[in-house]
Amino acid sequence: MIKRTLKLTMIFILVFNILPNYSDAATFPGDVSARGSILIEQESGRVLFEKQAHTPMRIASITKIMTAILAIESGQLDEWVTVSKNAEGTEGSSLYLVAGEKIKLRDLVYGLMLRSGNDSAVAIAEHVGGSLEGFVTMMNQKREELGMINSAFANPHGLDDHEEHYSTAYDMAILTKYALELDEYREIASTKSYTSKNKAGSVRSWHNKNRLLTQLYKHSTGGKTGYTKRAKRTLVSTANKDEMDLIAVTINAPSDWNDHISLFEWGFNTFKHSTLVKQGVIEVEDEFYQEKITAEYSFEYPLAEEEVELIDRKVVLYRPPNDDKWEREDPPYPIGTIQLELGEELIGVVPLKYIGEDEEAPPFWKKWLDHLFMVIGVKNSG
């Protein structure tokens, strides 16, 4: 329910041309070693903590989250990939691929995410994009689509071979939030070890480099590590506790494992999902509308205890007619909205439907929603 609830809320924010600027009134009491960092709640995208989160920096192998997304979305995971000489010779962390061997694209993505194979990244790029250059074009098209406005991609692995290859903690959180909507990505990123067999029958086994997942943090659900001499240590990780999902990103962080654990523990201990609107008939003061309007869905939002009393709920409704026009004809839709603010920041808009005196609240408004998706070009997957 939370995922559906918040996706739809963000759609209505777009429809009404309202851009949210999420408040981070609850401040992380400690510090992190990272030069750039961020902690967000996954479903709402609310920023809980940030430090130079919009400053472009080199990102090393967390680049591979984008590479994995494009490979998964290509629909080619079960295809055999022929490894090129170019891929075989890629420097740095490697799966030790050999030119001419054939290996499933799916296995390359596992090797990319668990072992951080740079040769795997090149093999994926050449297969999915037709060439390295073609794949880089796809990467930049995707980051524009996702609103990663302070990012640029020049390769599929994050090596320091281009100056125009960078991102921000915030943009990488956006990217990860999107990735987590893909079932295949969640499965791969949360895998601790994997065994691959190429077409000739040779077997390789990889163990995930993400020590949060494999050793250090029991609530970890996945992520991606990174390191180059120029970028230093970079890390994206995810965690789940008490039905709340958090995403943490650190860039240039000497103590990244500790940074992430500290941020997650603070986030889980400080914020809880609060139901701000319940689906169903809404009570209003206007006599005409009493027992006649319904909220189309519930709205939940992560709040610190001291923030609950700061929530302002505003009900905005059409002025009702002076006759029985709405009983004879279809009333406007939506008949109004509930606008939710935290302090002075808009955090959500819930549509209201007029149901008349004798109608029952209808089931979820799928037809209207499908039409909305078609009009604004938003897919159900995200």
How confident is the prediction along the chain (382 residues), in pLDDT tens digits per residue?
444 344 443 434 333 333 333 334 456 778 899 999 999 999 999 999 999 999 999 999 999 999 999 999 999 999 999 999 999 989 999 999 999 999 999 999 999 999 999 999 999 999 999 999 999 999 999 999 999 999 999 999 999 999 999 999 999 999 999 999 999 999 999 999 999 999 999 999 999 999 999 999 999 999 999 999 999 999 999 999 999 999 999 999 999 999 999 999 999 999 999 999 999 999 888 888 888 899 989 999 999 999 999 999 999 998 888 877 777 788 888 999 999 999 889 999 999 998 875 555 444 444 444 434 333 333 333 3
Helix axis angle, 118-129 relative to 132-145, nearest 10°? Answer: 90
Catalytic position from the list 37, 44, 93, 116: 116
With vertex at residue 146, the alpha carbon angle to CA 144 and CA 151, rounded to the nearest 5 degrees, is 55
Distance between CA atoms of residues 22 and 4, nearest Å: 19
Is 220 a catalytic site residue?
no
Catalytic position from the list 37, 44, 51, 64: 64
Model's pTM, two decimal places? Answer: 0.84
Is 61 a catalytic site residue?
yes
Type of residue at 150: N
Structural domains in the chain, CATH included, are 2-20+273-376 (2.30.140.30), 36-254 (3.40.710.10)
Is 7 a catalytic site residue?
no
Beta bridge pairs of residue 41: 246
**Token pair in block for residue 287:** 């006599």
Distance between CA atoms of residues 222 and 246, nearest Å: 11
Catalytic position from the list 37, 61, 120, 151: 61
The sign one gets for the Cα dihedral 122, 124, 126, 131 is negative
Q: Is the peptide bond before 334 cis (omega within 30 degrees of 0)?
A: yes
Distance between CA atoms of residues 143 and 145, nearest Å: 5
